Amino acid sequence: MAKAGMRLRNVYFEDPCFEAQQAAEKAIKAALLHLGVRFPYIHDLADLLDLIKTAGKRIPKTVRDADRLTRFAVVTRYPGLMEPVTRRELTRAVKIAEQVVRWAEKLIARKA
């Protein structure tokens, strides 16, 4: 994901940041499904991670950083609602999403 994200040219950085948020959200929701935890249909990653914590699973700080991606769920769809996303923000968003996906894959690979 990171390499593809860094090669983008003539593309708004908002688009891949939205995709990073979506990847993290889907990974967290997959973990919740694996744990048998019901969740509301929301995009707030901190709230979704709280449900995993409530289920008794430890959440590393690198995964808790996913709350930084929540803003990309909606505002990036509408140009002008926020300052343009920088390359640095894109790099950070992709890194966080990758960490969340790896963590969720490991959690799901273990027996509940």
Domain chopping of the chain, boundaries: 19-109
pLDDT tens-digit series, residues 13-40: 888 999 999 999 999 999 999 999 999 9
pLDDT bracket for residue 1 (50, 70, 90): very low
**What crossing angle do the helices spanning 14-35 and 45-54 adopt, rounded to 10°?**
20
Give dist(CA 57, CA 67) in Å, integer.
Answer: 17
Give dist(CA 71, CA 64) in Å, integer.
Answer: 14
pLDDT tens-digit series, residues 47-104: 999 999 999 999 999 999 999 999 999 877 776 777 888 999 999 999 999 999 999 9
pTM for the full model?
A: 0.86
Report the SS3 class of residue 38: coil
> Is the pLDDT at 4 greater than 80, yes or no?
no
